[in-house]
Amino acid sequence: MSGFARAIFVISTVMAGTPGLAAAAPWMWAPASKDDFFNELIPEMNLPHRWEYLRNDHPTVIAVNDVASRIDRHLRDQAGPAMDAVPVPTVVVRDHEDVEAWAVAARLCLDIPVRLDPSGAAQVEFAEVTRDGGIAPLRRQYARCRHLRSDAEVGAFVSWFNAEHDDCRLEIVGSGATREIVPGPGCAPDAAITGKIARAKVMTVKVNAPWVIVHSGITRVATTPDQQAFVIAHELAHYYRAHYARSLRRYLDSGGSHEAEADELATEWIAALGFDPLAGIAFFENYMRLFPESAGARQDTAHPDPCVRAENIARVAAGLR
């Protein structure tokens, strides 16, 4: 597993919904090919340039693909035919020294006007419902956007969105050519909208793109194959569980529950593959030694106290014995 050194991995998968992994509609994932990633998502999301990634035959790429494929096969064994249409994850690798990992978000576009302010006359092309329940006008069209056009798709999305967002709730009024989405008062429209922008032609939200990025500097913390497998499994858990299409406000209110769930699933998955289920604890101990300021982090941040996360992993690992 020495191929992990000085690499960042980008794990790609397209998912149509997997019972037991993510109870959500297929459109919560935005399919994106490798060309889509390089030509559209990279410039849009300010990701690393395409020429910075390693070739597919590089030893590091082969090594991380092996771990990702083993996790994928394990999940297929659990889910059975439900994952028949889901491709095996692919891994693209880039050198970078930062200790950082994240999943890439894409845009979902609802081709139905959204009423922002009934007193105004102007309109914008796109408005965004943000993950913290706000609404803001967008000044440009996104290069990559999955469009929902049918009444059934839009209705299903609004129902899901309202179930996921405690404060910001959406309503569809009218029908046919006159239908529009009306955000409720809890959606907290941007003050700049009031009296100036009546409608947006399209509303966008963030959904899960089929890419996860891990910087090579993570190997400064994940110093063993078991810890590296934990990192990969953790990021795959974010993707399979559709965390990036869910409410950030609910996420923060629950003390970083997405991170806790990803830690728990990663622990279970790597244990099933023969890796050390306690690898996540060693990872966070290494992290706190390298970044002592991280200990005691506030619970309302995206990443809670590493000590708390290590304790949670210990609890999950104990239950696997």
DSSP 22: B
DSSP 38: I
pLDDT of residue 210: 76
The CA distances from residue 225 to 42, 63, 102, 218, in Å, are: 29, 10, 20, 12
pLDDT of residue 235: 87
Looking up tokens 């700049």 gives 192
User: How confident is the model over 267-301, as pLDDT tens digits?
Assistant: 999 999 999 999 999 999 999 999 998 877 555 45
pLDDT of residue 12: 43
Average pLDDT value for residue range 83-106: 73
Categorize the per-residue pLDDT at 245 as very low, low, confident or very high, splitting at 50, 70 and 90. low
Instruction: State the CB neighbour count (10 A cutoff) for residue 113.
Output: 21
Instruction: State the CB neighbour count (10 A cutoff) for residue 271.
Output: 18
Top pLDDT among 191 and 117 is at: 117
pLDDT of residue 165: 74
User: How confident is the model over 195-235, as pLDDT tens digits?
Assistant: 567 788 888 887 777 777 777 788 889 899 899 899 989 98
pTM comes to 0.79
Q: Which two tokens mark 209?
A: 């793109």
Average pLDDT value for residue range 127-148: 69
Q: Which residues contact 18 (CB under 8 A, 6 or more apart)?
A: 75, 79, 82, 83, 86, 240
pLDDT of residue 242: 73
Q: Number of H helices and number of E strands within the chain?
A: 9, 10
**How many residues comprise the chain?**
321
Top pLDDT among 8 and 143 is at: 143
For 134-173, b where at least 16 C-beta lie within 10 A, e where not — what string? ebbbbeeebebbbebeeeebbeebbebbeebbeebbbebe
Domain ranges of the chain: 106-207
